[in-house]
Each structure stands twice: as C-alpha cells, then as structure tokens.
Structure 1
Amino acid sequence: MKKTILSIVAATTILVSCKQEQPQKKVEPNQEFNQLLKDYNEGKLKLNPLNATFAGDNRYNNEFPNFLSDEYALESKDFFTNYKAKLQDFSDDKLSESQQMSKAVLAWDCDMSLAQGSFKNDQLLPINQMWTVNLVMGQLASGSSAQPFKTVKDYENWLSRLDKFNTWLQSAKIRMQEGIKAGYVLPKSLINKVIPQFKGLAETKLEDHLFFSPIKKMPAEFTAIEKKELTQKYTEILDKKLLPSFKALSEFLQSDYLNAGLEASGIDAIPDGKKYYQHAIKNYTTTNMTADEIHKLGLKEVARILSEMEKVKQEVGFEGDLKAFFDFVRNNKDLMPYTEPKQIIDNFNAIHEKMKPQLEKLFGNKPKTPFVVKQTEKFREASASAEYNPGSLDGTRPGVFYTPIPDASKYNVFSDEALFLHEAIPGHHYQISLTQENTDLPDFRKTLWYSAYGEGWALYTENLGKELGLYTDPYQYFGMLGMEMHRAIRLVVDTGLHAKGWSREKAIQYSLDNEAESEASIISEIERYMANPGQALSYKIGQLKIRELRKKAKDQLGDKFDIREFHNQVLETGCIPLALLEDKIDKWIAASK
C-alpha cells in the first residue's frame, strides 16, 4: 500500500495539531487475547509437528500427520476458520499496539491458509524435486538435522514418525494417480528430476541407506542390548515398509507418471492454474500486484542492473559485450581457486571475520543464537541451492548456512560475499534469530515465514556489502549485481512461465542472456520456479519495499535518521506482510520527528 506525499503531509499535520492534547492512554496487554495467541500457536504445531521439530520443540517428534488425507484438509480448514472468527471478539481499542499487530498478522495467516486449502494443488501435486515434505524427511533422516538422536526415546520417536511417513508415501502415489485423471501433473522436466531421488532411495543397500544413518551414529553410552534392538527395528521398518514404498513410487514415477507429464511449463496448464497463480502472488509477495505489473517491473529492474554491470565490465578492462563478460566470469579459472569443500567453508568464515568490525555501525541488536557454515548433504546436493536453516528457539541448535559443493574444483567464488550476506549474516541469520529471541513477540510469530519480508530483507542486506567493508574486489561487487539481477530476472521468468505462456527453454535462455550464472545452475533455478509458482517473486518485491522505506525515513528525518534504529525497526517485529511493515515504519518516522 504505497502512500502518497499528500497523505504523509496530512498525517504530519495531524501529529503537530495534537501536540497540546493529553497523550492517549496506554492500553495494557489483553491477557485473554494473549491466551488466544498461545492456543493458536499450539494448534499450528499440532497441525504440522515438523515445524515444532525445526523450532526445537520436541513434544511431537513422533508425529507425522497424513497431510494428503481428506480428514487433514478438513481439520486444517476448521482450525483456521475458527480462529479467524475468534478474532472478532477483540476490538483494536482493547488491545495493546503489539497485540494489534499480532491480530492483523493472525488474520492474514488464517486468510492465506484458507485460500491455499481451497485449491487441490497440495493434495494432487504432493511431490516435486525441491520443496516437498519427502525431502524434509530425508534431511531429518540424515541424523544431523533438527530431529534429535541422543536418547533411546529419540530413536523410538523417529521410528514412530517413519511409520506414519510411510502412510504418507502410499497416499502420495494414490493422490498422484488421482492427479493424472484430473489434470494435475508435474511438467515432464520436473518428473525427470524427481525420478533419480526416489531411484536412489529405492535401490541403495540397507547399510548405506540415508534412512539407516541414525543407526550408524548411535551414542556410545547406549547399551549393547539397546543398540541391537534399535538396529533390528530400523532394519525391519526399512525392509518391510519404507523400501517397498520407495520402490513403488520410483516405478510409478518412471512409468505412468512420466508418461502423463505435462509438456507445458507453467501452473496455468492445470485446472484453476491462473486463479492459483494470482493467489500465489498475493501469498508470497503479500501485495495485490498482478502478474503483468510484476513482469513490467522485472523488465525495468533488469535494464537498470545491466547498466551497472556495464560499469564493472569497463572497470576490469574486459573487451567485448556484456554477454561475453558473463561467459568470461562463469568460466574464469582464477575465480575457481579451490580443490576441497573445506576451503570453500573456510572462505565463508573469513568473509564473516572481515566484516565483523563494521556490523556495529549498522546493527544495534545482534543475535545470541550461534551460527555455522556446512556443506549441503550429498543426497540432495545435486538439485539444492544455498540456504539457511534456523537455529532452535532456545538457541541450543545453531543456525546453519548450507552451501552445495558438488565439485569443489568447479566452484566459482565471484558471488560468495553477497551470498553470505543474504543467507547468513546479516541476512537470514540476523532476521530469523532476532525474531526467535524477541521475548515481546508471541510464540506464533516467532516461527512465521512471509517470503516477501524474509527474502526481501535478505536481498536488501546484499546491498550493504560496501558499508560492511566488502565488495573491494570488482568481481565480488559484480557478484552482488549478479545476485540482484538473478532476483530481478525472477520477476520476468516466473510471471512469464506461469502467466504468459513461456516455455522452460525460453525462460532458461532469457536468464542466460542476462546473468552470469552457469547454465546448470540456471536450469535448476528455472525448474525451481516451475515447482513453486510465485515464491521467486518475493525477494525483489520485498527488497524494493525495504529500500523505499529506508529512503523515505532518511529523506524525512534528515540528521535524525539512525541506520541502526531503522534496521531495528524493520527486524524487531519478525515476519509480517509488507503493508504492515510500511505502516509501522510510517509511525516510527512520525514519532521520530
């Protein structure tokens, strides 16, 4: 909701005219409303116990609901409908300012969840190569993620969860068969990426199997009898349940499902696809923008960033056009200096050390949650992007920046500084950890994720590199431009794929023409957008809004503008829709004058 200059002037006038009046009485927190927020959070954790596990709440580590059942869909619908109705019992004038924000966020959360549930996509398209729950379970099965494996009870919890996951796997095949009949099928190119994932799970020997990993990592203090019994139980559930389910899905994917795969690349090829995409835009950008508006904005941003890239090309003295410079950067062996994954991890840690002295100048609040850099697990590395996994709510499990390194000798470092800023510090690690550590926020807001805010913040922080003492190497600055270009291109290709009839190949070529990413990386990215329509739009939309708010605050506050306080204002409320963030910053500007 962009406000006009006239409305800002009017708001300022009202503020000045009210100076002589008595200050508004501060409303104490409504305890009944606080209980509603607690109940809502508890209910959401029960609806999705995996979220509880990742938050470090181990009460539901043995649970795995069948997300694909009609019963689950009805339970979810009833839950969000009931809480939306309960909000009507609390008028804003009976709530504190923080509670008013929580009410608005909860209303949005219910609305988006109900809208998502009104489509068949989640049930009839349960598996893709990048985003779906089977991959989350694989990550947990590694024994080195959020699911704990420290006690015998932990191991028994996972066995119980696996048994229920097996029901989900069987349901997935049934739902995908229904999807074929109803026209809800993945594009062929995505199916071809899922096939090897399930083929590996179906054909790997028991002792080498990903889901057998916890047995090979049993704590030394377990007794011989405990180790023997757990080994037998894990062997049995794999042999009799999981491996047959993996095999059945693998065979189905390679035959019936692949044969039914769509030739089209966009979500508009399935029933209600156009309507779903407009919902996805609203869900991920938290705006009412249309696909056409976003497409045009993307073209404009691509042109702007290209002009900046030209300046870098001239600075390094490259002869040739920008496309040739992209190829030069992609293939420059000087930018591939490593032979071992550890060297790449060490480089990210060195980037952190380099900017530590400057962080004090931009951030007054820094998280207590520890932080580590890890290589992405091998089982998902081939199709994974760099990513951040949050630490636990109590801070005992660190935040993790995962970076895929399929081949260290081919790893190009030109965007590593920007990548670290985005995925790690001060990007996702600051934003998520400070939210989780904020005792003023109700629990349900500590684990909320709105991509426009979360990814918008992370992309915004990439532009802080020079202020943090980075980007002294022109290739690293070009890397930042490349990553920003990558997000600008997303506005073009995501809307192109899902609303303008673009093919996968057209989207790949557009990316190759306008950025320096490798062709393999671009293909993986385009197929990512195909798998989750709209998600890729959130980064640039959120970044542009935060940059706009920073400029507004600086222009209006002048010498009173404090960048540390601005960043605190943006971060302290946690993930919220962009309209609520803008309203908050407007109030802060007015109060700071």
Structure 2
Amino acid sequence: MQNRRQLLLSAGALAVLGGYGGKVSAAQAAGAAGQLDSFLDKIFQQALDDSPQLATSLGLDKGDRAKAKFSLDGASLADKAKDKALNTRQLAELKAIDRSQLSGMAAVNYDSVLFNLETNEAANRQFDYGYLGGGQPYMVSQLNGAYQSTPDWLDNQHRIETKEDADAYLSRLADFGRVMDEETERARKDIAAGVVPPDFVIDRALTQMRGLLTQPEASTLVASVARRAKEKGVSGDYAGPAAKIYAEKVAPAIERQIALLEAARPQAVHDAGVWRLKDGEAYYAQALLSSTTTKLSPDEIHNIGLEQAKALEARADVLLRGEGLTQGSVGERIQALYKDTRYHYPNDDAGKEKMLADMNGMVEAMSKRLPQYFGALPKAPLQIKRVPKFIEAGAPGGYYNQPSLDGSRPGIYWINLRDSAEYPRWALPTITYHEGVPGHHLQLSLQQEADLPMIRRASFISAYGEGWGLYAEELAREMGVYEGDPRGEIGYIQSSLFRAARLVVDTGMHAKRWSREKAIETMHAISGTPVTASTTEIERYVVWPGQACSYMIGKLEWLRLRERAKAALGGRFDIRKFHDAGLLSGAMPLTVLEAVVDQYVASARA
C-alpha cells in the first residue's frame, strides 16, 4: 500500500504524462506496461548483482544483499566481456516490448532506458578500448581508475556501524588491490594497441598515485576504518589488520600500476585530442551523442559556444564597467577580479573552514526560496565537504554524490579547496547553487524520492542532469539572489562563460586538433578562470571527451522548453508545475524531456 506522499507523486506524474505516446486500450497498455515493469526491475536487480558498490551507494547492502558490502566491483577483461554481452541481451529484451502500446510514464521509462542501451551498444560494438559505453578512453588517468576513486568511496560511502561493517571494510580493502590489478591488465592491453594517455595525463596520474603510497600507518585507508570503528564503539584492533592489508595487497598493486605508466611514458605524445586514437573521430562523435543526447556536430557545438560567449560577454561588460573595471577584454577584467585579494579567503585550514560555513549559509538561505519555484522538495539533507587532499590536484572544482535510498547517507557536495584563490567570495555562490540547491542535490534527491522504477531512480544522463545544474544557476539569478550584488552576478556570468568556453575547447581539442596549451589559453581568455583551474579543467576534458559539452547544451534546452511552455500557456503557466514535470520524471534524453514538457502543456490546457 502506498503512503500519501507516494500516491501524490504518482498521481502528479500521471496527470502530467497521461497522453505521452498516444492513446491505447487499457488492456493493451497493461500488457506492455507490465512487461516493461518486469524488465526494468530485472535489469535493476542485475545491476545490483553485478555491482556491490552500487548496492552500498544506494543503501541496499542489507538483508539478502548483506554480502555485497564485502567486495568491490570487478574490472577484469572477463567482466568487460560479460557486461558487453549483457547490454546486447538487455537491448534485445527491451525491443521485444511493443513500444506503440506504451503511454504516460511507461513511455518515458522505455525511451530513457532505450537511449542508454542503444548508445552503449553502438560504442561497445565499435570501440574496444577504455571504459564500456565509450566516452572515457583511458582506463587509468588523473580522473579514472580505482586508485583515484576508491579511497574516498570507502571513507564516505562504505558505512561503519557494526563489527560486520568494519570487517567488510577490511575485505573491501583487500579487494582494492585486485581491482587495481584488473585495471592495470586492461590498461596494458589498451596501451599495447596504441591507446596511450598523453604525457601530461600520465604525469598527473603518477603524481597522484605516488601521493597515495605511504607508510601503512599513515595511510588514509588505514585511518578511516580505525577512526570510524572507534567512533561507533566497535571493539577490536582494525588499524593493525588494515595496515597489513595495505602493505601486502594495496601498495604493491599501486606500484604495479605506477610501473605500467612509467613504462608507457616514453610512448606518450603531447597531443590532447582523441582524434589521434584508432577511429578517434568516430569515438568523439559517439561521446558527444552520449553526453549531449543530440546529434549536434562538433562544428555546431563549437559555434554555439562562441555565440554564447559573445552574448555573455556583452552582459558582463555592462556589469564590469559599473564596478569601475573598464580596461581590457571581459576575460582580462575577470582575471583581474580573481587576483583582487580583497575577495580571497585565507589559503589555510581556517580560511577553508570559513568558506564551507559560508556555503552552508547560502544553502540555508536558498532553501527558504525554493517553495516559490518548486512543488516537490527533497527530504534528503545536504552536506558540504572538501575534496580529499590527495586527489585535489587532478579533481574537478566541485561535484556531487547523491544520497542513499535508505536515508542513511546525505547528499554530499564536494568542493576542491586546493587553492582558495580559485573561489573568491563573488564566485562561490554560483557553484553552490549548481551542486547544491536548486541544482544537483534538489534534482537527484527528487529523482530518488519520485515514484519511478528503481533503475531510473538510480540513473544519470549528463545533458539532463548537468543541463539542470547550469539551468539552476540561471534560476538562482532569476530568484533575485544577486540584487544589490553586481559582483555576485558577475560570478554567475563568469560561470556561464566557463561553460560556453567548454563547448569551444572540447571540440577544439578533439575535433579541430588544438593543443592542450591552446585550449588552456582559450579557456582562460574567454572565462577569466585562473590558469591553474583552467589547466585542471582542460586535462579533465582530455580524458573525458564530450562530457563538458553536456552542461550548456542541456541548459539551453531546459530554457527553450520553458519558454515554449510559457508561450503556449500564457497566464496558466506555473513554474512550480513545470519544474515538477521535468524533475519527477527522472533523468532522460533531451528528446524525451521535450515530449514530457509538451505533455505538461497539454495537461495544463486541459
């Protein structure tokens, strides 16, 4: 039996989406819809079977799935082959369901899952290197690999409440070495086929790997279980066994991965783009399709970036002149703002704690405004944390981890505080609105709390989700958060310039064969982003081609669809219902979002 909240969400979704996909008889719809429900439940259960880390992240490693907490996801060549075959089989099963008999949310579910399976299938068929589904060509880089993600994941997502949880941590710590060795094997195979990361990527990754190597008793991996077991009153020595596992299994695996990259380093070139890889142009086209969920070409995306930058620079020029900044290009004047130490937090632990406190204040103030713009609001709390120091050098400026489904872990907004000057006071609000509220925390929490199949509650589509994050920045401005704060509004425009520049530099490197240095210079010139932050960003796009394009392309589509709904509905347009229609339907390709908004318009007219 559904509770009232679930019933309201379900009814709201059906009201909004009732006609999507055409009208069919109740008997027909029940048959196809029932098949789809069974299929979606089946693939979710399969995902949990294959990924013990997914089970933990969602808070589902309990009861019959308690064993999941004792292992990490596999990364071997055999796992890769199995996953490819599974995708092919699931795509065939989905296509066997008659799409013409589906309507409402069932049609949205079908089309969203179909897009993911089809894009993965196309990439898996054509490209045999990097991660499955394409888009990330290097198994190990400054952003990819268990060495980079697992220590933080174990510390923040593997819960320790009981002795069993602490024992499971030790089991996973031992498994960490196995996973790194499996990734090393796949990376070795790719390198032998000519898929060698650029020299600067290898150098950055080696710096981070060497930073992870330490004496066992000084390792964060050892300290995490010892500290948290003690905090929860779990008796026994965990530091000793963890240190032994680190010394015998983890450190040697890191050393083997280091040795592989050191051996590959002489083969590495300085070219940044994937055009140099086997079928590189096709690889990038597939990456753009997967990330933007559109068929826009690299040239089209490049030109959209230039056009957006031009329009944003015009608005920034007015604001900058009002602040007495009249000399130089917009980018140069923003660079001058970045260098103005009056707006810097002290670059020490106390200064960074003050930054975190101020961001929490921004979230609290924004949360009070949300009921005017959203019908549904998230129940999950939000925490703001700094990116772990050992991965600061290569990590993005900010990112978000969604809460567990069982409510045991909040949403976490991570901010990279390697250098406080990268986030002067005037630039801090916008990234907080993007990663927190009304951005990713609101979007992903509502998706998890919505009445959707589990596989869709746990999914993420970049153009939809990152497009929402950037749309949320614009929405915050519309809410009036920058009234009387022109420098804060400059921070918002600088963030948008940054995302416009992404379209230019990503396509520049991967399609127009720009160098890393030209991309850094262009990013710096257009957005005014400091060279250090621009460098980290450009190197991110090198190892994750296409993804950076999803933000602005997605935002423009959210805005276009909102304006279309406004024009169609006039005084009947309700921004809260527009947002609910888009968010409670979960992550979806932009073409499906368009259909969802069209149906919201139809239902509002009715």
**TM-score above 0.5:** yes
Give the match for residue 40 of structure 2. 37
Residues 23-62 of structure 1 correspond to what in structure 2 (within 5 A)? 27-28=29-30, 30-58=33-61, 59=65, 60-62=68-70
Does 1 or 2 have the higher relative contact order (CA < 8 Å, sep 6+)?
Answer: 2
Residues 1:470 and 2:478 are matched in the alignment: no
Instruction: Measure how far apart 1:28 and its partner are.
Output: 4.4
Residues 433-582 of structure 1 correspond to what in structure 2 (within 5 A)? 433-438=445-450, 440-472=451-483, 473-582=485-594
Cα pair distance change 1:183/1:317, threshold 3 Å: same
| Residue-pair matches, total | 564
Give the match for residue 337 of structure 2. 329
Q: Which of 219, 227, 237 is the aligned partner of 2:236? A: 227
Structure 1: where are the runs of 5+ without partners? 1-18
Alpha-carbon distance in structure 2 between the residues aligned to 1:222 and 1:450: 37
2:130–2:138 CA contact under 8 A, matched in 1 = yes
Alpha-carbon distance in structure 1 between the residues aligned to 2:331 and 2:104: 52
Counterpart residue identity of residue 149, structure 2: V
Q: Which of 126, 132, 154 is the aligned partner of 2:145? A: 132
Alpha-carbon distance in structure 1 between the residues aligned to 2:332 and 2:149: 39
Give the match for residue 591 of structure 1. 603
Residues 1:77 and 2:90 are matched in the alignment: no
Instruction: Measure how far apart 1:320 and its partner are.
Output: 0.6
Alpha-carbon distance in structure 2 between the residues aligned to 1:90 and 1:436: 25
Deviations 1:472-517 (A, max 9, x none): 3111101110111111111110001001110000001111211121
Residues 10-409 of structure 1 correspond to what in structure 2 (within 5 A)? 27-28=29-30, 30-58=33-61, 59=65, 60-69=68-77, 71-92=78-99, 94-118=101-125, 119-122=127-130, 125-141=138-154, 143=155, 145-202=156-213, 204-220=214-230, 227-228=236-237, 230-253=238-261, 255-321=262-328, 322-338=330-346, 340-384=351-395, 385-408=397-420
Give the match for residue 9 of structure 2. none
1:65–1:164 CA contact under 8 A, matched in 2 = no
Instruction: Measure how far apart 1:48 and its partner are.
Output: 2.8
Alpha-carbon distance in structure 2 between the residues aligned to 1:578 and 1:133: 31
1:66–1:165 CA contact under 8 A, matched in 2 = no
1:358–1:469 CA contact under 8 A, matched in 2 = no
Cα pair distance change 1:163/1:304, threshold 3 Å: same
2:422–2:533 CA contact under 8 A, matched in 1 = no
Alpha-carbon distance in structure 2 between the residues aligned to 1:335 and 1:28: 60
Range 54-63 or range 390-399, more displaced: 54-63
Instruction: Measure how far apart 1:406 and its partner are.
Output: 2.2
Alpha-carbon distance in structure 2 between the residues aligned to 1:536 and 1:515: 15
Deviations 1:91-147 (A, max 9, x none): 235445211221112211211222333322326721111243332212123x2x111
Instruction: Measure how far apart 1:78 and its partner are.
Output: 2.0
Alpha-carbon distance in structure 1 between the residues aligned to 2:251 and 2:337: 44
Counterpart residue identity of residue 251, structure 1: A
Deviations 1:243-294 (A, max 9, x none): 11112222332x3122121221101111121111111000000111111111
Cα pair distance change 1:444/1:508, threshold 3 Å: same
Give the match for residue 6 of structure 1. none
Alpha-carbon distance in structure 1 between the residues aligned to 2:564 and 2:304: 20
1:359–1:468 CA contact under 8 A, matched in 2 = no
**What CA RMSD, in Å, does the superposition of the two structures yield over aligned residues?**
2.1
Alpha-carbon distance in structure 2 between the residues aligned to 1:214 and 1:357: 35
Range 24-33 or range 322-331, more displaced: 24-33
Counterpart residue identity of residue 441, structure 1: L
Alpha-carbon distance in structure 1 between the residues aligned to 2:560 and 2:231: 56
Instruction: Measure how far apart 1:319 and its partner are.
Output: 2.9
Residues 409-448 of structure 1 correspond to what in structure 2 (within 5 A)? 411-438=423-450, 440-448=451-459
Alpha-carbon distance in structure 2 between the residues aligned to 1:214 and 1:252: 28
Cα pair distance change 1:534/1:247, threshold 3 Å: same
**Does the residue aligned with 1:121 lie in a helix, a strand or coil?**
coil
Alpha-carbon distance in structure 2 between the residues aligned to 1:219 and 1:232: 13
Counterpart residue identity of residue 122, structure 1: G
Q: TM-score, normalised by structure 1?
A: 0.91
1:336–1:412 CA contact under 8 A, matched in 2 = yes
Alpha-carbon distance in structure 2 between the residues aligned to 1:563 and 1:349: 26
Range 384-393 or range 408-417, more displaced: 408-417
Alpha-carbon distance in structure 2 between the residues aligned to 1:511 and 1:409: 17
Counterpart residue identity of residue 140, structure 2: I
Alpha-carbon distance in structure 2 between the residues aligned to 1:503 and 1:409: 26
Counterpart residue identity of residue 259, structure 1: P
Alpha-carbon distance in structure 1 between the residues aligned to 2:231 and 2:304: 59
Cα pair distance change 1:319/1:84, threshold 3 Å: closer
